[in-house]
């Protein structure tokens, strides 16, 4: 194994981008601890446990389960170099249409689960005086103007903000942090079932149709993003000396990020005078 080989801890690794990332890491000689709700789903998708691959059954909403997974990874591989918070899901529905349980479950996986992972992993990274945290958000965590996706958008904005704060918090320990904003990626993330739900929602909330069309036009099997290339991009970002804090993935993500940046600058410029007038006059 080469000197540059790393030890990774990847959540949500039984399918999608997480699975593709783990496969590429193992092929490149890295060692990987990967989590899913069952070990069987990991071994079926990736392969059996080995000296290079540690499949872990983890309930990301349970503190002790996460704590045990981190401890077992350290026990098996000696340390962790890279943490990838990849597990997450999209909750569709208008703000007033979602139940309290639906909202909280969405945030439990998309935000509080990564926080739990970090709470148990960061002490080890601090002790090593290095490491890298990769938090997988979505382009909707930067440009969030999609009616009917408020819960998902809010959770991804939250993980983006968390990553910015974390980067400042751990910089003195030599730890890097990157938030990844993929555009639509061709994985199982949007299934035929999800399409049917979204189509019903359009019928029920016609005012949301224009925004939802972005998703319906790129649903299962037609998304622009290549999950293998996205996995490679993440590996590249970890391997460079100065990794990006914000990493946009795909042409759609880049275009939407540029649109959002321009829209914010427009509002800043239009209201600069009135905004400045709210300060005390010294």
Domain-embedded: residue 70: yes
Residue 228: its H or E element: helix 227-239
By annotation, the residues acting in catalysis are 152
pLDDT in tens, 184-195: 665 565 544 443
Domain-embedded: residue 35: yes
Domain-embedded: residue 224: yes
Domain-embedded: residue 133: yes
Range of the domain at 234: 7-250
Low-confidence ranges of the chain (pLDDT < 50): 1-2, 191-214, 216-218
| Rounded CA separation 105/249 (Å) | 26
Domain-embedded: residue 189: yes
pTM: 0.87
| Rounded CA separation 234/180 (Å) | 8
Q: Give one DSSP letter per residue of 153-217, joined into a string.
A: HHHHHHHHHHHHHHHHHHGGGTEEEEEEEE--BSSTTS-HHHHHHHHHHHHH-GGGHHHHHHHHT
Domain-embedded: residue 1: no
Domain-embedded: residue 117: yes
Domain count, the chain: 1
Q: Are 175 and 123 in contact (CB under 8 A)?
A: no
Q: Are 141 and 157 in contact (CB under 8 A)?
A: yes
* Cα 141 from chain centroid (whole Å): 10
CATH value at residue 44: 3.40.50.720
Domain-embedded: residue 184: yes
Q: Are 60 and 35 in contact (CB under 8 A)?
A: yes
CA distance between the termini of the chain: 63
How far is the CA of 2 from the CAs of 30, 31, 238, 241, in angstroms? Answer: 9, 11, 16, 18
């Amino acid at each position: 194994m080469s000197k540059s080989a790393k030890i990774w801890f990847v959540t949500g690794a039984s399918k999608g981008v997480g699975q593709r990332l783990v496969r590429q890491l193992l092929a490149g000689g890295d060692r990987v601890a990967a989590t899913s709700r069952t070990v069987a789903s990991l071994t079926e998708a990736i392969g059996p446990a080995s000296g290079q691959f540690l499949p872990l059954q983890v309930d990301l909403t349970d503190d002790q389960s996460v704590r045990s997974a981190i401890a077992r990874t350290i026990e098996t591989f000696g340390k962790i170099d890279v943490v990838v918070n990849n597990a997450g899901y999209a909750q569709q529905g208008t703000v007033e249409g979602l139940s309290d349980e639906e909202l909280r479950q969405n945030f439990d996986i998309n935000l509080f689960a990564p926080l739990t992972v970090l709470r148990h992993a960061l002490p080890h990274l601090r002790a090593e005086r290095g490491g890298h945290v990769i938090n997988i958000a979505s382009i909707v965590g930067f440009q969030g103007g999609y009616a009917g996706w408020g819960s998902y958008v809010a959770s991804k904005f939250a993980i983006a903000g968390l990553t910015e704060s974390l980067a400042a918090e751990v910089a003195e320990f030599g730890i890097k942090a990157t938030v990844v904003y993929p555009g639509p990626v061709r994985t199982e993330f949007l299934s035929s079932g999800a399409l049917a739900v979204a189509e019903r929602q359009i019928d029920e909330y016609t005012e949301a149709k224009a925004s939802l069309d972005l998703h319906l036009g790129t649903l299962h099997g037609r998304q622009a993003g290549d999950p293998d290339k996205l996995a490679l991009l993440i590996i590249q970002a970890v391997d460079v000396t100065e990794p990006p804090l914000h990493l946009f993935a795909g042409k759609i993500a880049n275009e939407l990020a540029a649109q959002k940046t321009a829209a914010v600058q427009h509002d800043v410029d239009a209201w600069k005078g009135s905004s400045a007038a709210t300060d005390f006059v010294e």
